[in-house]
Amino acid sequence: MSEANKPYQHEPFPVGKTKVDQQRNAALLSGYDYEKYPGGFTGYNGQDLQRVSYEQWQPALRVRVGPRGNYKAGFTRMPDGRLILASCRDNHDTDPDKRRFGIHVYESSDDGESWNEIGKTQLFGKEPSLAVQGDGTLVLTAQGGCFGPSANRNAHTLARSEDGGRTWESIGFEAFDYPRNVIVEPDGSFLFITAVRSDWYNEGHGSPNLLMHRSKDGRTWDRLEGTVDWDFPGFGEVGCLRLKDGRLLAALRRQIPGTTGEGYEDTMITESNDDGKTWACPWRLIETAKVHAYLTELHDGRVLCTYSNYHVPYGVSAVFSKDGGRTWDHDRTIRLSTSNDFYVGWAATLQLPDKRLITSYAVTCYSMQEPDRVTCEVVRWPLSS
């Protein structure tokens, strides 16, 4: 095996480190319990409280997309330069079997400064993602839109559009997991990756492998199962990226062994040098209570990871890697947005032709004003060295 094709060897992250850090914080700051908070959502999970940060502010443009109530979104840049964004919106039906998240589509012709709704689709789903081929064919994926007792939790949304997102052909697919994003391969085909089984709430009794979904036209799809060098199956919501050097990266949201609650999840990352047939033993990307990783390769070769904080301060953050995702500069974390509570994130980041970055995300802006406490926003921000 050539040196270039050897799997990355990393130092395994000690499972007990999270508990050790929390116990140390509790001992030094007696009188407060920093070890576990209700639901694992709140508090200082994943933070080293024995450090301070130095903030450096940069100008940015922040815009709300659509009305209050718009939530998680995916977006992409069309071949003609327009930005297309798909946001979900809760209908707040009191009957759990009638509760739906409808998908609304917006477009911007000025790099995100203004947005116009171009259609309320017949599609339903949470956490949409969008990707576009060179001919303008769009593919949308989303977590299944029905969450009532009679819902099929393995039924998710998959659709394609040939008119810029105004009308959609529903394809649909069933899987144990749903993807964070869809990528367009160098040959123009679509690819998204899911976990073969996502059982993080059931102590992980499924396969730890990844499933590659490929399509030339967004209508018919082939599947290939890839083997992950890992015996822990409790992960899902895979974010993927094809690097310019040909490697595939996959970010995996996992439940930390021995814990429960979403605040005690972290994000691992793995790579494949053989087009997804085999994957290296995953290593840690971001710490406890940091999830929803979205990977973007920048013009200068760095990889950007945009993610959600499920600890205070709640919000959307980003970190860079200079070595293709193998190490990350956590000492220079970028905070892109702050939220009123932990319902925040599901971010997606694109780089514009002028090198600026634009990130879409959901945020809780209103604390006591139900039902529309959440909004969908984009922030356009400068790239730093």
pLDDT in tens, 116-165: 999 878 999 999 999 999 999 999 999 987 777 888 888 899 999 999 99
User: Do 124 and 85 touch, CB atoms closer than 8 A?
Assistant: no
> What whole-number distance in Å separates Cα of residue 121 and Cα of residue 102?
7
- Here the tokens at position 301 are 């070769």
Strand order in the sheet with 290-297: 290-297, 303-309, 315-321, 334-338
Q: 39: which 2 tokens?
A: 């639901």
Helix (H) or strand (E) run with residue 125 in it: strand 116-132
The domain locations on the chain are 15-52, 60-381
Supply the pLDDT for residue 264: 82
CB half-sphere exposure, 285, CA atoms < 13 A:
37
Distance CA 201, CA 183 (A): 28
Residues of the chain whose pLDDT is less than 70?
Answer: 1-19, 21-22, 26, 31-43, 197-207, 370
- The four Cα atoms 313, 318, 319, 324 give a dihedral, to 10 degrees, of 150
**What is the secondary structure of 138-152 as a DSSP string?**
EEEEEEESB-STT--
Query: CA-CA distance, 305 to 297, in Å (whole number)?
Result: 9
Residue 203's pLDDT is: 47
Would the CA dihedral through 53, 57, 60, 62 be positive or negative?
positive
- Residue 81 CB partners (closer than 8 Å, separation 6+): 109, 353
Residue type, 164: G
Specify whether domain 60-381 bears CATH 2.40.50.100: no
DSSP state of 280: P
CA distance 20 to 224: 40
Return d(Cα 294, Cα 296) in angstroms, integer: 7
Residue 15's pLDDT is 56
pLDDT of residue 204: 47
Full-model pTM = 0.92
What's the Rg (C-alpha) of the chain? Answer: 20
pLDDT of 130:
98
Residue 159: φ, ψ to 5°: -150, 165
